[in-house]
């Protein structure tokens, strides 16, 4: 078994940051155009966000086999599969736009979800060659690579979204190019080759899925990751529809999503340090509080709306807080999960975690379109419904975290 080496880990982080910046730029880009393209091709406004739902559904259904595949064959093999699927999915979506087919747009979106699943493992790849003490910082630094993708994706979309007679055709062609170019960076990674060539040796056998789900730290990490990601997706998916529906431009929507994704990743420069100093549970709790503040900011924007439309400032405030809350909640939950299982349990735990997380995110993205477009008849009514929907899930995550920290310490399973 290869021993942790922080020198190698830091080199891997540099590559993964570049990958996040280039290939990761497709995610904020596609989340801007997915709902708008869907609304353009479907006659049912409640289904406008279905392309985004299928991206997340693709990620959910990929995670259970992607994680074990990577454990057997190495991370790079899985990353290449993700990049190929991302390029192919974008080209199929572009074809769907060219022939006016909502179905082909959905098929392409599903393949984009395979890329999204592979991208989700970048954060775990950062820990493969890292020491235990360096792991929270490694996860945080790789997530910080999204800072550049936050700028590149939506701003690139401004240049290409109307480059062709068919709206958003240029957006999907740009996504294909990002995948093709970005895949060359994977050759710069130094990661374990997988159990086919490097068996994972452990003093104790791996736990069954049932046993893993009885571990309080694992189950609470999954709940908090699920809530943080699902609520972020619920609100972000609706944002372009809400912004454009309230009379603002597509470029306004791009700029708001840029601010949101910047807020998702800027804190990553210090989230790992905060976890090391204050403890992972406190950072997760902070994330849940900030997510609640995001909903409050959006609802206040509706309450004090001028001329029947929330101000752009309220959209910016809500989406920036949403990004920061996601960062603390999701990175915190990822760190909690990574410290709660043995190396020989990694493939099962990470695949199970991402299946649950992205399963709930799929539901959230689908519900987003229904809440936004079919719960009151106006963009303001829909935007209000989206933000009110956050309340019960935040309460659930808070209850789970309180339960974990108030349990007797000797009852908590200690991971190697």
pLDDT mean over 288-315: 86
Residue boundaries of the structural domains of the chain: 6-198+208-409
DSSP label of 190: -
| Stronger pLDDT, 189 or 394, i.e. the higher one | 394
DSSP letter at 416 equals -
User: Residue 306: its pLDDT value, please?
Assistant: 57
**Per-residue pLDDT at 31 exceeds 90:** no
Pick among 2.40.50.100, 3.40.50.2300, 3.40.640.10, 1.20.1250.20: CATH of 6-198+208-409: 1.20.1250.20
- pLDDT digit string (tens) for 192-238? 776 654 444 555 677 877 878 788 888 999 999 999 999 998 998 88
pLDDT of 416: 40
How far, in Å, CA of 241 to CA of 74, rounded? 39
3-state helix, strand, coil in the chain (%, to 5): 80, 0, 20
Give the per-residue pLDDT at 2: 46
Mean pLDDT score of the chain, rounded to an integer? 85
pLDDT value for 212: 80
Residue 37: CB atoms within 10 Å: 27
Q: At residue 102, does pLDDT exceed 60?
A: yes
Q: Residue 306, SS3?
A: strand
* Whether the Cβ atoms of residue 271 and residue 291 lie closer than 8 Å to each other: no
Instruction: Examine the pLDDT at 190 and tell me if it is beyond 90.
Output: no
**Mean pLDDT confidence for 262-290:** 90
Structure token pair of residue 271 = 């989230």
pLDDT at 372: 87
Question: Average pLDDT in the 326-333 region?
Answer: 93
**Of residues 367 and 416, which shows the higher confidence score?**
367
Please name every residue paired with 306 in a beta bridge, in sequence order, or none if there are none. 309
Using CA atoms, how far apart are residues 3 and 16, in angstroms rounded to an integer? 20
Percent of the chain topping pLDDT 70? 93
In this prediction, residue 1 carries a pLDDT of 43
Place of tokens 């997530």: 143
Q: Is 210 left (phi over 0), alpha (psi -120 to 50) or beta?
A: alpha
Residue 110 confidence (pLDDT): 96
> Taking the CB of residue 22, how many other CB atoms lie within 10 A of it?
21
How far apart are the two ends of the chain, measured CA to CA in Å?
Answer: 15
Residues 333, 124 contacting (CB under 8 angstroms):
no
pLDDT band at 109 (very low <50, low <70, confident <90, very high): very high
Is pLDDT above 70 for 409?
A: no
Q: What is residue 308's predicted lDDT score, i.e. its pLDDT?
A: 66
Structure tokens at 324: 């920061």
* pLDDT score, position 293: 96
Residue 388: both structure tokens together: 């009110």
Of the segments 59-73, 219-233, 264-278, 330-344, which one has the largest average pLDDT value? 219-233
């Amino acid at each position: 078994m290869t021993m942790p080496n922080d020198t190698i880990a830091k080199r891997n982080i540099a590559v993964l940051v570049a990958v996040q910046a280039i290939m990761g730029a497709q995610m904020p880009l596609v989340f801007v155009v997915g709902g708008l393209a869907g609304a353009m091709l479907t006659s049912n406004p409640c289904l406008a966000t279905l392309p985004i739902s299928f991206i997340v559904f693709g990620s959910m259904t990929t995670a259970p086999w992607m994680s074990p595949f990577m454990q057997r064959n190495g991370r790079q093999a899985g990353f290449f599969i993700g990049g190929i699927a991302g390029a192919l999915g974008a080209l199929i979506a572009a074809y769907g736009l060219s022939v006016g087919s909502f179905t082909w747009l959905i098929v392409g979106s599903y393949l984009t979800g395979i890329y999204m699943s592979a991208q989700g493992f970048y954060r775990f790849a950062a820990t493969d060659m890292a020491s235990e003490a360096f792991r929270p910082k490694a996860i945080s630094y790789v997530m910080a690579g999204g800072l550049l993708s936050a700028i590149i994706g939506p701003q690139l979309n401004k240049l290409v979204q109307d480059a062709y007679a068919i709206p958003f055709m240029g957006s999907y062609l740009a996504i294909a190019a990002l995948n093709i170019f970005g895949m060359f960076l994977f050759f710069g990674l130094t990661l374990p080759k997988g159990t086919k060539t490097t068996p994972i040796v452990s003093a104790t056998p791996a736990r069954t899925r049932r046993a893993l789900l009885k571990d309080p730290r694992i189950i609470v990490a999954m709940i908090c990751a699920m809530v943080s990601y699902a609520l972020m997706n619920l609100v972000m998916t609706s944002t372009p529809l809400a912004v454009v529906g309230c009379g603002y431009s597509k470029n306004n929507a791009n700029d708001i999503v840029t601010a949101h994704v910047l807020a998702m990743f800027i804190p990553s420069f210090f989230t790992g340090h905060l976890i090391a100093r204050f403890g992972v549970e406190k950072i997760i709790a902070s994330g849940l509080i900030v997510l609640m503040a995001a909903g409050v900011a959006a609802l206040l924007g509706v309450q004090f709306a001028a001329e029947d439309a929330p101000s752009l400032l309220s959209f910016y405030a809500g989406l920036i807080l949403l990004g920061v809350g996601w960062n603390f909640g999701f990175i915190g939950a990822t760190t909690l999960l990574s410290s709660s299982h043995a190396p020989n349990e990694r493939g099962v735990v990470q695949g199970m975690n991402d299946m649950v997380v992205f399963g709930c995110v799929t539901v959230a993205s689908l519900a987003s379109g229904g809440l936004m477009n079919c719960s009151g008849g106006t963009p303001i009514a829909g935007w209000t419904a989206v933000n009110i929907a956050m309340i019960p899930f935040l309460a659930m995550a808070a209850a789970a975290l309180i339960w974990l920290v108030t349990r007797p310490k000797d009852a908590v399973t200690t991971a190697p």
